[in-house]
Structure 1
Amino acid sequence: MEAFRYMNGKLRCENADIGKAAAAVGTPFYIYSRRAFADNFRRLDKALAGSRHIICYACKANSNLSVFRLFARLGAGADIVSGGELYKALKAGVDPGKIVFAGVGKTEDEIRFALSSRILMFNVESVPELNLINDIAGKMRRKAAVAVRVNFGFDPHTHGYINTSRGSKFGIDMSMARGVFAYAKVLRNIDIAGLHSHIGSQITQTGPFVRNLRMALSLAESLKELGIHLRFINLGGGLGIAYREKESPVSVSSVGNIFRKLLKNSRRYTLILEPGRFLSANAGALVTKVLYAKESFGKKFVIVDAGMTDLIRPSLYGAYHRILPLTTVRSPLATVVSVVGPVCETGDFFALDRKMPVPGQGDLLAVMDAGAYGFEMSSNYNSRPRPAQVLVSGSRFSVIRKRETRADLVRGE
């Protein structure tokens, strides 16, 4: 069942009236469905049944503690990229033995924090990083488990900003990978636990995932010649969703079936996936109020009280998000309009030249599929307080992060 749907002409999140939530907390605000988060996790977990696996939630998508705790209770680990995310993961109750630390720029302090927390492993992105982890682990009298992140260099056909393959800053060039594994083998304080290869985000075809696993397995098997026997194959995240009405999301059941077949003869490996968007995007929406409508040089604009400071994806990536009225229109006369925010940037928009019924002043709109990389990428640009976050369970909703105040804007200054 869809988390967001119309009932008696009103858009609801599960069974909660979003309009009532807006009246209680004000706009703009993020609203999330507890059921959708859980359903997404269980669907992926079921698709991977039959193969040893760990689902490490990529908390960069949405690291609100209430959301994080929900996934932790379902059995998820965490894919983290900073000491701050590690802190939040531990606060949320994530088992440190299911935490993997990715990212190209880990600091000495973050490495020490991760080692003292006894995380599962580091996804290592360079030889200098490998050396630093080895040195710090030695001083702490620890053995650091690592997975070498390999960049296989093939194009997963996604947006350039979220394509982590050839020419990006991520991973170790395939041509150098065996040498790096061999080098890691002689480092006294390093345990070579696995191979990591995340090829990009928002991938909706099964082909790139299958190719990635085939190449990872081939390399892992060849490393046995060097006396290196890996325990983990980490394929990262990237499972795509449908943002547009006629798009199709990646079929996780198909991906799971293919993974199971490919891993059938390699049962020694535990598969790790790092989904973020897949677990959280369709569980959330950004609710905003129409402030004004205007026309300029023949173009119609609808100005709302949310902006790129609240949801930057359309401005940053040209990303498409459906925009729905909270109350259905009886006879919608569709007109080409641009839905824009109040921020002093021409790039502050949610939709450009989109054909839709023109909402009236004071009407409420929901910017859909905003549960991932929404609040997480928000900012205080133009000295705008960040919005509240609300979690729905059934017909009840609760504020899981208060709206920032003007006083918050100068705190610490």
Structure 2
Amino acid sequence: MKKKPFITLEKAKEIAEQYPTPYYVYDEAGIRRNAENVYKAFAWNKGFREYFAVKATPNPFILQILSEYGCGCDCSSMAELMLSDACGIKGHKIMFSSNDTPVEEYRYADQLGAIINLDDLSDVKILKATLGHVPETICCRYNPGGVFKMSNGIMDNPGDAKYGMSEEQMTEAFRELKAGGAKHFGIHAFLASNTVTNDYYPQLAEELFSLAVRLKKKLDIDIRFINLSGGVGVAYKPDQTPNDIFKIGEGVHQVYDRIFKPEGMDDIAIYTEMGRFMLGPYGALVTRAVHEKKTYKDYIGCDACASNLMRPMMYGAYHHITVLGKEDLPDDHVYDVTGALCENSDKFAIDRKLPKIDLGDYLYIHDTGAHGHSMGYQYNGRLRSAEILLHEDGTFSMIRRAETTNDYFATLDFCDVGKKLLRK
């Protein structure tokens, strides 16, 4: 089975006439359709909100599209808070979840009125000392320990993860926060990444809803929301079945009714923080074949590299590749598809069966809409590419320009060498 690109070879070339490869392109129609479906799937819960994980695709044009559907922002740094604020997303539409948090970020999150999600019991005292008060609405992150085998190995072992608190620590944190003036509480957890199953959220919900009942009875607190966080993944491989958000929503609904209704707690809001599911399939990295090498293997070198898409090098992650214009040709050649970094791991594919690739061919790397451009870096002086938004009517516009050498040398502008390098 082959994955289908959302642009044609003709459209890829049309974009490249204005914005040379490599470039990221995002499918606005797909993003909008998916956001609408997420809200339909959880419409049974009156307080539902998706807090888009800004880290996945930190672009204001994307955030503003999602905000039209009611999405807030899941932020984990000062820069992400600043971006959300600049987009007009403020107050409780921001969930601030971080770890090893600088105190100035707590202050800024509080100034914006964000919901602060504490990662560790010690953060309670730090927050009180930093702000001089405890916010009325507060959240804590739970880690049940053990192993949660539902992901592709990116993070599926809570007991070995640096995030969250044990139930004993959660209990003490909520007790201290209540004594400090907190009135409304939330519970958050992230136990596995990139799950390609409709069972992850319902299974996580079972764990968190049961915890909420225990904490409410023990502490007599007002639990306002359960944040299921992210973890709903993308079918990166063509033989995988994509998640069905409607089945996921209904699965959570069934657990909600079974656990919360008998306890009179069926007014609790459900929050999610999906980045990968919201954007992953609706972005692609488009690159051209610029070099062919034959030694012990056949290599195709691209004008993109791990600076543009780090996931294959970092995780060994699979991203499907389509040679645009050759979709109907047989995959009768085997290539390593590489970039130009001085690292042997700079490969988008290893021993991948593809049609014969000629120099100048356009390669469409699928499912890069989340944790793609955002994880880019500047090693070897290879610079990050432009981001393009393909609009619903087929037109397109640049939503982030490509980096230049001026950007690369900008932090040296204080010295003579740096000034020589900067082009006017």
User: Aligned to 1:257, what secondary structure does the other structure show?
Assistant: helix
* Higher alpha-carbon deviation: 37-46 or 216-225: 216-225
User: Aligned to 2:160, what secondary structure does the other structure show?
Assistant: coil
Could you tell me whether the CA contact under 8 Å between 1:134 and 1:144 is conserved in 2?
no
1:262 corresponds to? 255
Cα deviation for residue 35 of structure 1 reads 0.9
User: Aligned to 2:190, what secondary structure does the other structure show?
Assistant: coil
Structure 1: 5+ residue runs without aligned partners?
Answer: none
Cα deviation for residue 326 of structure 1 reads 2.0
Counterparts of 1:167-206 in structure 2, within 5 Å, are 167-186=160-179, 188-206=180-198
Q: Which of 90, 107, 113 is the matching residue for 1:112?
A: 107
Q: Which of 230, 239, 242 is the matching residue for 2:232?
A: 239
2:55 corresponds to? 60
Q: Which of 95, 117, 120 is the matching residue for 1:126?
A: 120
1:227 corresponds to? 220
User: Aligned to 1:211, what secondary structure does the other structure show?
Assistant: helix
The one-character-per-residue Cα deviations of 1:301-353 (angstroms, maximum 9, x if unpaired) are 00001001100001111111111112126644611111000000000000000
CA distance in 1, matches of 2:273, 2:328: 43
The one-character-per-residue Cα deviations of 1:230-256 (angstroms, maximum 9, x if unpaired) are 111111111111111110122211111
Q: Which of 144, 152, 162 is the matching residue for 2:144?
A: 152
Matching of residue 301 in structure 1 with residue 302 in structure 2: no
- Residue type matched to 1:31 in 2? V
Cα deviation for residue 267 of structure 1 reads 1.6
The one-character-per-residue Cα deviations of 1:171-227 (angstroms, maximum 9, x if unpaired) are 0123533233223322x2444511111112211223332221112111111122321
2:14 corresponds to? 20
Residues 152 and 144 of structure 1: CA distance in aligned 2, closer, same or farther (over 3 Å)? same
Cα deviation for residue 288 of structure 1 reads 0.6
Cα deviation for residue 289 of structure 1 reads 1.0
The one-character-per-residue Cα deviations of 1:76-117 (angstroms, maximum 9, x if unpaired) are 011111111011011122242211111212211100001111
CA distance in 1, matches of 2:171, 2:185: 14
- Residue type matched to 2:275 in 1? G
- The two structures have a TM-score, normalised by structure 2, of 0.90
Aligned length: 400
Could you tell me whether the CA contact under 8 Å between 2:110 and 2:116 is conserved in 1?
no
User: Aligned to 2:154, what secondary structure does the other structure show?
Assistant: helix
The one-character-per-residue Cα deviations of 1:248-279 (angstroms, maximum 9, x if unpaired) are 12221111112222223132211110010001
User: Aligned to 1:272, what secondary structure does the other structure show?
Assistant: strand
CA distance in 2, matches of 1:26, 1:114: 38
Matching of residue 162 in structure 1 with residue 155 in structure 2: yes
Could you tell me whether the CA contact under 8 Å between 1:32 and 1:392 is conserved in 2?
yes
Could you tell me whether the CA contact under 8 Å between 1:198 and 1:238 is conserved in 2?
yes
1:373 corresponds to? 371
Residues 183 and 292 of structure 1: CA distance in aligned 2, closer, same or farther (over 3 Å)? same
2:209 corresponds to? 217
Counterparts of 1:299-378 in structure 2, within 5 Å, are 299-328=297-326, 331-332=329-330, 334-378=332-376
The one-character-per-residue Cα deviations of 1:14-68 (angstroms, maximum 9, x if unpaired) are xxx1211012210111011111111111111110011121111011110111111
1:83 corresponds to? 78
User: Aligned to 2:185, what secondary structure does the other structure show?
Assistant: strand
Matching of residue 410 in structure 1 with residue 409 in structure 2: yes
CA distance in 2, matches of 1:282, 1:402: 22
1:48 corresponds to? 42
Structure 2: 5+ residue runs without aligned partners?
Answer: 413-424
Could you tell me whether the CA contact under 8 Å between 1:337 and 1:358 is conserved in 2?
no
User: Aligned to 1:157, what secondary structure does the other structure show?
Assistant: coil
CA distance in 1, matches of 2:153, 2:174: 28
* Higher alpha-carbon deviation: 252-261 or 281-290: 252-261
Could you tell me whether the CA contact under 8 Å between 1:156 and 1:199 is conserved in 2?
no
Q: Which of 129, 132, 149 is the matching residue for 1:135?
A: 129
CA distance in 1, matches of 2:157, 2:71: 24
Q: Which of 96, 100, 108 is the matching residue for 2:95?
A: 100
Provide the identity percentage: 29
Could you tell me whether the CA contact under 8 Å between 2:142 and 2:187 is conserved in 1?
yes
- Residue type matched to 2:16 in 1? A
CA distance in 1, matches of 2:56, 2:88: 18
- Residue type matched to 1:311 in 2? L
Could you tell me whether the CA contact under 8 Å between 2:326 and 2:355 is conserved in 1?
no
User: Aligned to 1:311, what secondary structure does the other structure show?
Assistant: coil
- The two structures have a TM-score, normalised by structure 1, of 0.92
- Residue type matched to 1:204 in 2? V
Could you tell me whether the CA contact under 8 Å between 1:164 and 1:198 is conserved in 2?
no
Could you tell me whether the CA contact under 8 Å between 1:284 and 1:370 is conserved in 2?
yes
Cα deviation for residue 362 of structure 1 reads 1.3
Could you tell me whether the CA contact under 8 Å between 1:241 and 1:249 is conserved in 2?
yes
The one-character-per-residue Cα deviations of 1:121-170 (angstroms, maximum 9, x if unpaired) are 111111221211122222xx563532111112341422333336221001
Cα deviation for residue 377 of structure 1 reads 0.1
Cα deviation for residue 229 of structure 1 reads 2.3
Could you tell me whether the CA contact under 8 Å between 1:72 and 1:93 is conserved in 2?
no
